[in-house]
Chain A
C-alpha cells in the first residue's frame, strides 16, 4: 500500500511496482531503468534482461500517470 501525500490518493501496488517504488525511495535520487533492474535482480540472466527492462519501464509509466514518480529532465 502506498499513500501519495501530494494527491491524497492511496494505491495498492503489485509486487513488482512495490519493489520499484521501494528502490526509488531508498535511493532518494534519480535512477535509470537499468539501475532499478540491477537493484531488483542483480542475478538477472541475459535472456531475461529485456523483459525486466520492459516491465520496469511499464511500472514507471504507470507511476508517472499516478504522480508517484516523474522522469528527470535531461
Chain B
C-alpha cells in the first residue's frame, strides 16, 4: 500500500492516532500529528511512498505537535518530537512541513551509523551516481532538482548513504528542499515539477519542496555505484566550467562533509577511499541551470 491509496480522511486519522509508518528508502518512520499542514504535505509529497503496517518495526518515532502552552493560540508554533522529546526549539506553525523534513534529516544524520552519511545530493543515470557535496548556498539543490527534472534518478537531495562494506550509495529519495531564488528558477526550468507551497520567513528564508519523481521512489531499493564527485558553486553570470579536482582534496572534502566519518574509523576511511577511487572528481561553477544540466547529460552519455 502507498500513501495515495489512503483517502484524505484516513490519512489524517492515522496521523492523529497510532501514526503513519512511512517507508523512505531503507528506513521506516512512524509519524504522528494532528496538524493539517503535516497531513497536506505528506499527501502531496509522499503520495508514492509505501506504508508499513503498524506492527512492523519503525526506525524512528516522530511527532509534530503544538508546544503545550498559550502559544497554541497566540502565534501558534510547532515542535518536532523524537521519541517524545523535542531536539529543537519550536517554530511557527506554518513551518510544520519544513520542520518535519529538517527533523527527518536530523534523524538520519544523527542515528543511521550503519551508513557513512555525507551531506550531499546524489543523482544517478545508467547506474552511475553523481555526488554533489556542498555547503548551503552553493546551488546544490537547484542543480539536483534540475537534473532530476531531466531524467536523472533522485537518490537524495541532502544525505548520501554510503554502505561501508560495498561503498555503494543507498537511495533515500525524499522531497528536494529549495530556498529563495531557487524556487522560481525551478518553476521556470521545469513547469511540470510538483512544488509544495512556499513557506516564508523560515531560518533559511523562503522554502519550498519539490516532490521526488515516482520512478525514484519506486526504485528506492536499487543502490548505485559512485562515478562522479562534483563540488558545485553557483555564480551569477559565469559559464558552466568543470575543473578536475585532485582526489586527495576530494577525499578531504567528503570527509569534512560527513556526519559520522570519525565513528567509522578504518572502515570509513576505506569506504571513502573506494568511493574516491571509483569517481572522477571535479569542481563545478555554473551560472545557468540549462547549461549545467546539459553538461552533466553529456558527461553521463560519454561514461
Residues of A within 8 A of B (CB): 1, 3, 5, 8, 10, 12-13
Main secondary structure of the interface of B (DSSP, over half): helix
Say yes or no: B269 contacts A12, CB within 8 Å. no
Q: Is the CB of B251 within 8 A of A12?
A: yes
Q: How far is the CA of A1 from the CA of B273 in the complex (A)?
A: 8
Instruction: Closest B residue to A13 by CB, please name it.
Output: B248
Report the Cα distance A5→B252, complex, angstroms: 16
Report chain B residues within 8 Å CB of A5: 265-266
B123 sits at the interface (CB 8 A): no
For the A-B complex with A5-B266, A12-B251 known, give 12 more contacts whose Cβ atoms are closer than 8 Å.
A1-B251, A3-B265, A3-B266, A3-B269, A5-B265, A8-B262, A8-B265, A10-B252, A10-B255, A10-B269, A12-B248, A12-B249
Contact B252 A12 (CB under 8 A): yes
CA distance A1 to B253 in the complex (A): 12
Q: Is the CB of B248 within 8 A of A1?
A: yes
| Minimum CB–CB distance for A16 against chain B, Å | 14
Which residues does chain B contribute within 8 Å of A1, judged by CB atoms?
248, 251, 269, 273
Complex CA distance for A5 and B262, rounded to whole angstroms: 11
Q: In the assembly, what is the distance between CA of A35 and CA of B2, in Å?
A: 68
The interface residues of chain B lying within 8 Å CB-to-CB of A10 are 251-252, 255, 261, 269
Compute how far the CA of A1 lies from the CA of B249 in the bound complex, rounded to whole angstroms.
9
Query: Quick one: closest B residue to A14, CB to CB?
Result: B248
Give the chain A neighbours of B251 by CB distance below 8 A. 1, 10, 12
Q: Which A residues are CB-close (under 8 A) to B248?
A: 1, 12-13
- In Å, the complex CA distance between A12 and B273 comes to 12
Cα separation A13 to B252 with both chains bound (whole Å): 11
User: Distance (Å) between the CB of A4 and the closest chain B CB?
Assistant: 10
State in angstroms the CA–CA spacing of A8 and B249 once bound together: 18
Complex: how many Å from CA A3 to CA B251? 12
How far is it, in angstroms, between the C-alpha of A21 and the C-alpha of B261 when the chains are bound?
Answer: 23
Jot down 18 A-B pairs with beta carbons below 8 A, ordered by A.
Answer: A1-B248, A1-B269, A1-B273, A3-B265, A3-B266, A3-B269, A5-B266, A8-B262, A8-B265, A10-B251, A10-B252, A10-B255, A10-B261, A12-B248, A12-B249, A12-B251, A12-B252, A13-B248
Leading 7 A-B pairs by shortest Cβ distance: A3-B269, A12-B248, A12-B252, A1-B251, A8-B262, A10-B255, A1-B248
Question: A67 to nearest B CB, angstroms?
Answer: 15
A13 to B251, CA, bound (A): 12
Most buried by A among B248, B261, B265, B266: B248
Return the chain A residue nearest B261 by Cβ. A10
| A-contact 0/1 string along B253-268, CB 8 Å cutoff | 0010000011001100
